[in-house]
Structure 1
Amino acid sequence: MYDDILLPTIGSPGGERAVAEAIDLAELTGARLHILYVVEDDSRKGLSDGRWETIREALRSEARDVLAGVESEATAAGVEAITHVGEGRADEAITDYASENGIDAIVMGTHARTGVNKFLLGSVTENVIRRAEQPVLVVRLDED
């Protein structure tokens, strides 16, 4: 059914439900779990190249720490895990990774914001659903 499942994560405390669902699904299907953390490059707006490189490396270091934690949870459950730090716009990086790596399903969380909050903040999950060629399992996240 699924050989490769993608879990995009940023390590937020509320995101544990999506992590647990992805690990459970991978365990049930025998799939590899690809864990992706995207460093969004819109963080660089207004920064000099030198300053951005310093911040970028700090963000990538944080990403590696988050990925190591999720990878540890997956391997403890007997799930093969592959980690990757991506860069760019989150929805594009997620769907590009999925297409380029033979992903069969994507598991991701949402805060299910509505109204003005959704309009102002946008929805990475909604954009992934629109762009992805793969099925997307959406898990409502706990409040942070």
Structure 2
Amino acid sequence: MLQRILVPVNFTTASARALAVTRDYHPQATIRLLYIVNPSDIASATANPVINPTHANDERSKAEQEARQKLEAWKHDDEEIAVEVGSAAEKISEHAEHWGADLIAMGTRSRTGLQQFLHGSATEWLVRHANQPILVVHDVDLAEDQKRHLPPME
């Protein structure tokens, strides 16, 4: 039986659907929602020729706090949240290992061709390299009974 399921979210429809499917299929599991802050987002917020380390730390804290607020809105009372900063695929894998996840459940958008080549896919990397099984939920319509598990979308 799966007891600990990590659900990386990026607040897209695809990740919302992955969370809903996880809640529906594994109601007894401990679910942890994980958001990865991209370091380049922090760097762009500090776009200044003279980088002030204090300002960079402030921007990181701000990004982490904003992510936590969004995660709180998405989680159910019995679910956990976590925020990491770094490369999405690597941080998801590391977090799953440290937390002891039995499964990683994540959404994916269908990128093809040039988009896939340029942007890569954390999901694809994890399917190939993670030590846990991966449940991949495509951005497709859910069954009516699964829709009740969707988080609030903005």
| Deviating 4+ runs (over 3 angstroms) | 44-47
RMSD of aligned C-alpha atoms?
Answer: 1.7
Between structures 1 and 2, the one with greater helix share: 1
1:65-144 superposed matches below 5 A? 65-72=69-76, 75=77, 80-141=78-139
- Is 1:42–1:89's contact at 8 Å kept on the other side of the alignment? no
The size of the alignment, in residue pairs, is 134
The 2-side partners of 1:126 and 1:94 are apart by: 12
Instruction: Kindly name which structure, 1 or 2, has the bigger radius of gyration based on alpha carbons.
Output: 2
CA deviation after TM superposition for structure 1 residue 129, in Å: 1.2
TM-score, scaled to structure 2: 0.78
Structure 2 segments unaligned to the other structure (5+ residues): 141-154
Q: Any unmatched runs of 5+ in structure 1?
A: none
Q: TM-score, normalised by structure 1?
A: 0.83
Post-superposition Cα deviations, 1:10-37, rounded to whole Å, max 9, x if no partner, equal 212443211101211330xx11001111
Task: Write the letter of the residue equivalent to 1:22.
Answer: T
- AA matched with 2:82: H
